[in-house]
Chains A and B, each alone.
Chain A
Amino acid sequence: MATTTAVAKAPRPEGPPNARKRRSATPKKLPYLLIAPAGLLMLGFIAYPVLNVFYTAFQNENPTKPWRNGFAGWDNFTRIFTEDDQFWSTLAFSGKWVVVEVGLQLLFGLALALIVNQTFVGRALSRAMVFSPWAVSGVLTSAIWVLLYNSQTGITRYLADMGLAEYGSSWLSDPNTVFSAAVVADLWRGVPFFAILILADLQTVSKDLYEAAEVDGASRLQQFFHITLPHLKDAIVLATLLRMVWEFNNVDLLYTLTGGGPAGQTTTLPLYIANISVDAHDFGYASALTTVAFVILLFCSILYLRLSKFGGDDK
């Protein structure tokens, strides 16, 4: 979709041969020259590694067991689907994590964007403040929430002091609370991303539409559902998709906050893959898992775009 509009819109500098004289680079070669650095970098450091993963998925490759190395056929894949219980449990956790995180982020992000889109005293400052966690890394988020969840000195300690003793434990090591604790920490950083994207799009809604709706006697709620939400649809779909992929791939936060624990309870599929390749050095098997993760991501993305009819069905 983006490509077609781009092609249609872009002017044709090569155009008439009598156009003003060109210096140096002939225009035929110029665009290729301009995309060459980006193209080469992406070929070398994205395309090649991806192909390498697909290739390695069919190999036994483990530097600690060199005698087994060689072509493995579909062995790695059958092992994933028949023997590996951890694959299924980490996949299930990944799904739960993505759905809960993205759902809540969308909800709060939308609400936050609607609020800071209003005019009120102190808007610029409060925007800067509520958006600021967006700039913060996953590791830093972990550091901050480790301080907050600390059972001796954290916020949880004050809850215990207030008589809510059952909330006083260390939330990150308790299997009952670790999921919610991680979700809240990631929400803190994730909501601003949604809010910024949605706010950017909110500002492009024409004011006339609201005035017309007002004249026709539409309530604020009706205006929201009939003007605001349809207008935001593309931005929401795009933000949700990007965020889903991102949350699925998110390793920083859980790796440093819970380390996948307690007892593997917060291990996502990418975290599991990282453990297998980095700790166990089983590169072949990790590559097969990565391939499966790619396929799942691709499938979910296509499905999501189809279901949400991205770009409208007018095309």
Chain B
Amino acid sequence: MAVTDKPQAAHTGTPAGPGGTPARTRKERRAWDEAPRWQIYLPLGVYLVFTLVPFYWMILFALRPAGTTGMLPWPITLDHFEKVWTERSFGVFFQNSLIVGVVTLFMTTLVSLAGGYALARFNFRIKRGFMLALLCSQFVPGALLLVPLFKVFAGIQMINSLGSVIIAETVFQLPLSMILLSNFIKNVPYSLEEAAWVDGCGRFRAFCAIVLPMLRPGLVAVGSFAFVHSWNHFLFALMFLSKQDLQTIPVGLNTLLSADSVDLGALAAGGVIAALPVVIVFAFIQKYLVTGFSAGAVKG
């Protein structure tokens, strides 16, 4: 390729001759920095179709009157939503899911903030053991612990209370959240905190005033993981909540799926209701997620 003669031009820095060497260099550079357009847009387009058609299909079924087959949701009907929301009690499920999601978000963030701070700022005797336990717990599948967890919650009389699901979701979110947040805290210079102590702040006030504001991307990442995860998770709610008016959205969806004759319109409308909050959250935090991962999880 033509690369071989380019370095000389770059190194010697020959002034622009009549042949326009620098101009050609710049053009070549561009070509090297970026792939040809079609190499981006063609595979991306194919992948976008794969990603978006299923979403479209769900929305189409949710809005299309039952019995019609058009590929466009026209005329639009909201009957399916109304039916799912009231008859299938998705309104109640939605509320339960929201409670579980929001409380889990706050519990996970608070508890892992405290733990993450300890891991980032202190040396203490059981620290290594604790870190090891955090890593090991990543390999413990919640799904396989259903029965013993059920026994534990039955023992503390928390079966059929949203609390059991909130605790279980929080616990299984904690290890990763704590590791992520401690990495974020490590990135905040300790000297800033110490300076605040010198100025007469207590440890807690210094933390709130100096560290907390700089943790925003980390907190967003951890909080949104917790919310999305608990919004989506299915098994804990299925197992620990047998009363119908305590169920969450994924369990409601499963009921629609496993009905004898699947009502496709209702299923699609339920799906839209299940997807909407997380997809909206995701659209806002997507930017933070990538930075969150690069600052926290991967380097850890």
Contacts and interface: CB of A to CB of B under 8 A. Distances in A.
Contacts of B40: 115, 118, 120
**What size tier do the contact residues of chain B reach?**
35 or more
Interface string B13-27: 000000000000000
A45 B257 contact: no
Contacts of B44: 115-116, 126, 130
A38 B34 contact: no
Contacts of A215: 6-7, 10-11
B144 A273 contact: yes
Contact of B300 (A2, A10, A196, A274): A2
Interface string A16-54: 000010111001001110110111011011111110110
Given A118-B34, A150-B264, 16 more contacts: A3-B128, A10-B122, A30-B118, A30-B203, A41-B174, A42-B171, A45-B167, A56-B147, A124-B287, A135-B275, A139-B254, A143-B268, A200-B294, A203-B294, A249-B142, A252-B234
B124 A134 contact: no
Contacts of B52: 129
B282 A31 contact: no
Contacts of B253: 139-140, 142-143, 256
A209 B43 CA distance: 26
A23 B275 CA distance: 47
22 contacts: A7-B123, A7-B127, A7-B128, A30-B118, A31-B122, A34-B115, A45-B149, A111-B43, A118-B34, A120-B37, A126-B44, A131-B282, A139-B234, A143-B271, A147-B61, A196-B293, A214-B32, A217-B7, A235-B298, A245-B139, A251-B235, A290-B144
Interface residues of A, number: 109
Interface of A: 2-3, 6-7, 9-14, 20, 22-24, 27, 30-32, 34-35, 37-39, 41-42, 44-50, 52-53, 56, 108, 111-112, 115-116, 118-120, 124, 126-140, 142-148, 150, 153-155, 188, 196-197, 199-201, 203-204, 214-217, 219-220, 234-235, 238, 242, 245, 248-249, 251-252, 256, 259, 270, 273-274, 277-278, 283, 286-287, 290, 293-294, 297-298, 301
